[in-house]
Amino acid sequence: MSSDDNPNRPQRPARRGFLKAGGAAVAAGASLGASGLTQAAEAKHRAPPAVDPMSAVEPFYAAHQGGIVTPQQAHTYVAAFDLTTTSRDDVIALLRQWTDMAARMTQGQSAASLDNGKDDAPAPDSGDVLGLGPAALTVTFGFGPGLFMSEGKDRYGLAHLRPAALVDLPRFNGDQLVAEKTGGDLYVQACANDAQVAFHAVRQLARQGYGKLHMRWGQAGFLSGPRNQTPRNLMGFKDGTNNPPTSDPKAMNEFVWATAADAPWMQGGTYTVVRRIRITIEHWDQMELGFQEQVFGRHKYSGAPIGQAKEFDTVDLTANDKDGNPLIPENSHVRLSNRASNNGAQILRRSYSYNDGTNFYIERWPPWRQETEYDAGLIFIAHQADPRTGFIPINEKLAKFDMMNQFTTHVGSAVFACPPGAKPGSYIGAQLFEA
């Protein structure tokens, strides 16, 4: 399984990235990647941040919702809710309130004016991000299958408007889904350059829904390092290199934005799949470097496809080694998920790592070990024009053949229709309720 016979194999980095001279600070835009070799390639693909991450502002009212093709912020908090109200008006009122509050918070304001607060009433905002700035907050809303039909009931008169693309996900090979990490009628995804700003947004919105909904699950996630390079996931590999470019409207129209063909109210929206994927880090860390690279189909330090030197070099699925075997293994993650292996399908991955401390586990077979393990992994988030040609066929293949499956377990899953953006004065989902 070694790829040492490859003359293009990049050198190992001798030390971590930032070069220093006498302790002087290096400007944020001048950071090196894992290897100096990849610096030029990264600089071409990633622009250095132009503003202080805490004072950056993302628009809320726009044709598309934020948080989909928005440059990925450093933190997220994602949550799903089950509606308990049976009133269509309640749902509309809630979405109106959520829209107003989300718009305020993305612009660096409290969820509602604190001037209206009284000492003898709960404050309209928890106050825990006062003084922090907008931190590029985006809030993205989505609708799960349960909004349209729940336990056989069309609670809100929306069943006939359910898009065909909003399918119930099939059971994939190896799925170990936990009910309380799976599903949901409403989706709220807050992304920001600060962990507390992201959580704060969901927390204020959740509170407004008391009596109308229950939280089903919530999950914090993070990316490491500055945003001008491809972040590495907890397996140590760069994650997101081969994403379709968000700067290319044509690619986004092809792969990410829904059209009116399926459901007119979804035009300009997207379908979002969320999977909580636990990684057995302890096991992965014991694997040989060469084997890890075979699993991914990429070199670990440079991020280059096996057989190439640089992260953004083209993935050549036809290249063979001197023995005639594929350089990028048949069951590698890169090959199986590559566009060329999936009839041209692509999805926009916008995932985060998660790190929820540790679990104590007891093995159910000899030698019946009892031990503490990391509860850490990936909050996989993928946006696409249609899951039936996006995530579902790609993951059907991965779930069966990907060598990575030894180290990953899907424990949570959900799919949502994220409608287009709202106009000022209107609300998220207006096109659905007014259809």
Q: Of 8, 5, 38, 47, which Cα lies nearest the Cα of 301?
A: 38
Nearer to a copy of itself, 33 or 146 (CB): 33
How far is Cα 192 from Cα 58, in angstroms, rounded to an integer? 10
Nearer to a copy of itself, 51 or 168 (CB): 51
Cβ 184 to a copy of itself, closest distance in Å?
Answer: 10
Length of the chain: 435
Nearer to a copy of itself, 133 or 390 (CB): 133
Phi, psi of 345 (to 5 degrees): -70, 145
Side chain identity at residue 115, one-letter code: D
Cβ 330 to a copy of itself, closest distance in Å?
Answer: 19
Instruction: Please classify residue 21 by burial: count the beta carbons closer than 10 Å to its beta carbon, then call 0-12 exposed, 13-18 middle and 19+ buried.
Output: exposed
Nearer to a copy of itself, 51 or 314 (CB): 51
Nearer to a copy of itself, 16 or 322 (CB): 16
Cβ 371 to a copy of itself, closest distance in Å?
Answer: 6
Start-end of H helices in 360-408: 391-401
Contacts of 63 (CB under 8 A, 6+ apart): 268, 420, 421
Cβ 372 to a copy of itself, closest distance in Å?
Answer: 4
Cβ 232 to a copy of itself, closest distance in Å?
Answer: 5
Nearer to a copy of itself, 56 or 252 (CB): 56
**How far is residue 251 CA from its own chain's centroid?**
18
Cβ 267 to a copy of itself, closest distance in Å?
Answer: 30
Q: Which two tokens stand for residue 401?
A: 């053949």
Interhelix angle 88-106/195-208, rounded to 10 degrees, is 150
Nearer to a copy of itself, 127 or 157 (CB): 127
Distances (CA, A) of 260 to 289, 375, 431: 47, 41, 12
Task: Count other C-beta atoms under 10 Å from residue 359's C-beta.
Answer: 11
Cβ 430 to a copy of itself, closest distance in Å?
Answer: 27
Cβ 144 to a copy of itself, closest distance in Å?
Answer: 15
Torsion of CA 152, 156, 159, 161, to 10 degrees: -160
Give ∠ CA 355-47-233 in degrees, rounded to 5: 20
CB 293 within 8 A of CB 404: no
Nearer to a copy of itself, 180 or 434 (CB): 180
**DSSP three-state, residue 375:** strand
Nearer to a copy of itself, 157 or 225 (CB): 225
Cβ 92 to a copy of itself, closest distance in Å?
Answer: 24
Greatest pairwise CA separation for the chain in angstroms: 78
